Structure 1
Amino acid sequence: MRPSDVAISNYRSIRRLFMPIQPLSVFVGENGVGKSNLYKSLSLLRDAATGRITRTIADEGGLNSVCWSGMRQRGDDARLRLAARFDNIKYSIELGHPGPVEAAFPGEPMIKSERIEAIHGKRKVLMMERTNSHVSVRGENGAWSEHRDAVLPSETALADFLDGKAYPEINLVRNAMQSWRFYHDFRSDPASPIRKPCLAITTPSLSADGSDLAAALATLYAIREDAADLQDAIEDAFPGAELRAWEDSGRCEFDLQLADMPRPFKAHELSDGTLKYICLLAVFMGYRLPPFIALNEPETSLHPSLLPPLARLIAKASRRADVWIVTHSEHLMEALRSESSVPLRRVIKAKGATAIEGLTAGGEFRDGEDDRDDDEDNDD
């Protein structure tokens, strides 16, 4: 399942946003307007599916650090709310601080509620509801099953109710969001794993840190036995160059032969920008693309000459997956608009909150570029 829209409330600089997911969504803005918070909030939804959302929030400093950073009116709560809708199913989660009688560490982020709704036109049917540690699930016959003390405050029902036959809606949402991929940056220092051989394991999608880069490339050569598109993309970015990837004694390696060099260069010898571009090739040209791919400032460390080929790479991948790009590069934005006619989505600050120009409260863009139906219900 591919997501159709997301809702975010009380996350850092985001007071309240409800927005559609298009095949290619590109957000550009100046530093400090909250672009990265868009990316991170969606990553938290994936963490709900893996069961790590409370740990991630704790790692970021706890709810006091990640919740809405602006002014609050008296009576406003400090709860973080996230939701994602797929074509006919919606998942939402709410997190808050421990109550006075709840068993938790001081300041620990707690999951207060989770909901899964099946959507049939304007009709919504609640399929799963979690309140604190009490989980209720609707079965195939419409009857509810009650599960008291089924989960800890730090655990999601989405990650813990694993019986796909008994809980098909939970299983569908969990699998959909677990398959999302987020790429923030690729380390390129001498000790980085992307510069080293890796285990020879069939790798359909590049991992978030790129540690299986050589295996992802070698999968195209040795498993698919067709790397023609990859070579075309290398030619587009580095005219006259040739990329090779192979398996040797249980390890995968790759090298790049540049047109003006007498010998090929292995990963540990490549420049930071060249190596990061090869990572992006693996992201967008893998054996099997994830249904949703999000990248935060993919242009970092790239020479300006690589931005048009990167735009072509992204535009082509958006035919196979939903692609979400957050960037501060106007040049990349213009290259993407040239390659895909993607509308400009500018991230701004409005009254201290992150906002997107042209986005209405109902999740539509005033420029008419978004042809998705209005959900009419933009609660979180």
Structure 2
Amino acid sequence: MLTTLAVQGYRSLLDVVLPLGPLTVVTGANGTGKSSLYRALRLLADAARGTAIGALATEGGLGSTMWAGPAHLSATMRSGAVPVQGTRRSGPVRLQLGFASDELSYAMDLGLPRPDGTQTRFALDPEIKTETVWAGPVARPAAQLVRRKGPLVSTRTEAGWQEMTAALAASDSCVTALADPHQAPELLRLRESLRGWRFYDHLRTDAAAPARAGVVGTRTPVMAADGSDLPSALATIEEIGRADLLHSAVDEAFPGSRIGIDVSAGRFSVLLHQPGMLRPLRAPELSDGTVRYLMLAAALLTPRPPQLMVLNEPETSLHPSLLGPLATLMRRAAEETQLVVVTHAAALQEALAPDAEHVHLVKDLGETRIDGQEGPLDRPAWVWPSR
């Protein structure tokens, strides 16, 4: 289980160290950095897929995702004694992401390439400057297992540090390129763990949403990120998962109702049987909130729980009466997988208390801060590996 998420220099996250529990609820007003925190987690997962640099490019490149304020916010700036103003940069441009767990932890440092006189169209492409994998929650030198500085990657062996390569491309993560069961089993474990993280934030419910259409039925223990295979995912839960939990979740949300799967020529489609109705309602007839609730139920009741699942604003389109049943699903899922929920809904946060770790974000002079963290002693222990 992840115990800490650390982000430095990403959008409004100038320096954030976030505690994580089995079930963590992140709240805050609009613009306080909730979406940035969600994207930071996605970037860490992208590193294991080899797509972190591309993901930054889709956000406008490193220059668009970097902290836009001064390098240092002084006490006089915070107090209002002097206006916020730029300061002379004393260190390199850097965006740092990392997480800690009781077993394996990881940190990545991205920056701009050093000018060397070479003519290139890609001078603003970010580079991975350093990567570090260590045992335990704190990046002590003695706990380091794999370290990368520029193109050089080394792994710790019984005989000491051993070079794995001195020519790793600046755009490649060692987690992706060098995971080997014999030479670097830690990287392999880390890669498979990160690749297994699941994110749900694009669950469409409009009239043309993929979840409303029929699909060719195949066993689907993991619902797609857009919910396009919802009928197959629900049928899989009924056949090889916890059908009782699915049926109780539907009944709690829509009393007296039950889910059904229509199978015609190998194609599956969702049905909802409701009391008083002479025929079941098909997916195109269901409300946006009903479709979204069914997608969230399919994600949370997966027969193949991941190490980490992250839900971004799951309350969208849901009637307040559905937040209680959704909280029940989340508490149940948190028994088998670590769950991070980013939400605007105070009612959802209240429904999950006291079972959840609650993190409330606030904004101070453009910087995202965690409410209640007044100083270094108020946040989890974290040390960034040196570049």
Question: TM-score normalized by structure 1?
Answer: 0.89
1:249 Cα deviation from its structure 2 partner:
4.1
Residue 166 of structure 1 and its aligned partner are, at CA, apart by 2.4
Write out aligned runs for 1:250-269 (5 A).
Answer: 250-269=266-285
State, as a whole percentage, how many aligned pairs show the same letter.
Answer: 37
In structure 2, what is the equivalent of residue 93 of structure 1?
A: 108
Alignment-derived partner of residue 373 in structure 2: 359
Segments of 5+ residues of structure 2 without an aligned counterpart are 72-86
- Residue 256 of structure 1 aligns to which amino acid in structure 2? L
1:378 aligns with 2:383: yes
Q: Name which of 276, 293, 297 aligns with 1:277.
A: 293
- Matching residue of 1:210: 227
Residue of 149, 153, 156 corresponding to 2:173 = 156
- Structure 1: how far apart are the matches of 2:36 and 2:123? 25
Query: Structure 2 vs 1, CA of residues 104 and 22 (structure 1 numbering), >3 Å: closer, same or farther?
Result: farther
Q: Residue 24 of structure 2 aligns with which residue?
A: 25
Asked whether 1:14 is paired with 2:19, we answer no
State the match for 2:40 in structure 1.
41
- CA displacement at 1:69 relative to structure 2: 2.0
Q: 1:317 to 1:223 in 2, by over 3 A?
A: closer
Q: How does 1:303-318 map to 2 (within 5 A)?
A: 303-318=319-334
Asked if structure 2 preserves the Cα contact closer than 8 Å seen for 1:6 and 1:19, the reply is yes
Distance in 1 of aligned mates of 2:284 and 2:372: 45
Query: Matched residues in 1 for 2:112 and 2:52: separation?
Result: 14
Measure how far apart 1:23 and its partner are.
0.9
Q: Distance in 1 between matches of 2:126 and 2:264?
A: 46
- 2:251 matched to which residue of 1? 235
Cross-structure match for 2:131: 114
- The corresponding residue for 2:147 is 129
Shift of 1:281: 0.3
1:251 Cα offset (Å): 3.4
The aligned residue for residue 59 of structure 2 is 60
Structure having the higher Rg:
2
Contact 2:289 2:317 survives alignment (8 Å): yes
**Residues 175-234 of structure 1, C-alpha deviations (whole Å, 9 max, x = no match):** 11111111113112233221122343322222211122222111112334x511100000
Pick closer, same or farther for the CA change 1:175–1:301 going to 2, 3 Å: same
Distance in 2, matches of 1:156 and 1:335, equals 40
Deviation at residue 145 of structure 1 after TM alignment: 2.5
Unmatched 5+ stretches in structure 1: 366-373
Structure 2 CA distance for partners of 1:256 and 1:353, relative to 1, 3 Å: same
Please provide the CA RMSD for this pair. Answer: 2.2
Is the Cα contact below 8 Å between 2:23 and 2:355 reproduced in 1? no
State the one-letter code of the partner of 1:136.
S
Q: Which moved more, 1:94-103 or 1:286-295?
A: 94-103
**In structure 1, what is the equivalent of residue 95 of structure 2?**
80
C-alpha displacement at 1:341, in angstroms?
A: 4.1
CA spacing shift, 1:319–1:279, aligned 2, 3 Å: same
Q: CA deviation at 1:61?
A: 0.1
Matched, 1:184 2:201: yes
Distance 1:124 1:193, change over 3 A: farther
More deviation, 4-13/82-91: 82-91
8 Å CA contact retained: 1:25, 1:323: yes
1:198 has 2:220 as partner: no
Partner Cα separation in structure 2 for residue 246 and residue 175 of structure 1: 35
Residues 17 and 361 of structure 1 are in contact (CA less than 8 Å); yes or no, is this contact kept in structure 2?
A: no
Hey, what's the Cα distance between the residues in 2 that align with 1:263 and 1:274? 17
Q: What is the rounded CA distance, in whole Å, between the counterparts of 1:134 and 1:363 in structure 2?
A: 34
1:42-73: CA deviation from partner (whole Å, max 9, x where unpaired): 11111111111000000000001111122223
Equivalent residue number for residue 370 of structure 1: none
Is the 8 Å Cα contact of residues 139 and 167 (structure 1) preserved in structure 2?
no
Contact 1:297/1:327 (CA < 8 Å) preserved in 2?
yes
| TM-fit CA distance, 1:360 | 5.6
CA deviations 1:104-154 (Å, max 9, x no partner) are: 7031121111111123987733222222222222346545033121x3222
Counting matched residue pairs gives 366
Within 1, Cα distance between the matches of 2:137 and 2:23? 26
Q: Which residue in the other structure is 2:163 paired with?
A: 145
State the SS of the aligned residue for 1:289: coil
Q: Deviations over 1:252-285 (max 9, x none)?
A: 3321112242211222221111101101101111
Assess, with a 3 A threshold, how the Cα gap between structure 1 residues 234 and 363 changes in structure 2: closer, same or farther: farther
Following the alignment from structure 1 to structure 2, what is the Cα–Cα distance between the partners of residues 211 and 152? Answer: 36
CA, structure 1 residues 307+131, in 2 after alignment: closer, same or farther (shift >3 Å)? same
Distance of aligned partners of 1:223 and 1:335 in 2 relative to their CA distance in 1, 3 Å threshold: closer
Question: What is the TM-score when the length of structure 2 is the normalising length?
Answer: 0.88
Q: Secondary structure at the match of 2:30?
A: coil
Instruction: Please state if 1:245 is matched with 2:244.
Output: no
The 1:134–1:298 alpha-carbon spacing in structure 2 relative to 1, beyond 3 Å, is same
1:8 positional shift: 0.5
- CA distance 1:148–1:330, change in 2 (3 Å): same
Q: Is the 8 A contact 2:101 2:137 kept in 1?
A: no
Q: Which moved more, 1:120-129 or 1:11-20?
A: 120-129
Q: Deviations over 1:290-326 (max 9, x none)?
A: 1211111110111111111111211221121111111
- In the TM superposition, residue 347 of structure 1 has moved relative to its aligned partner by 1.0
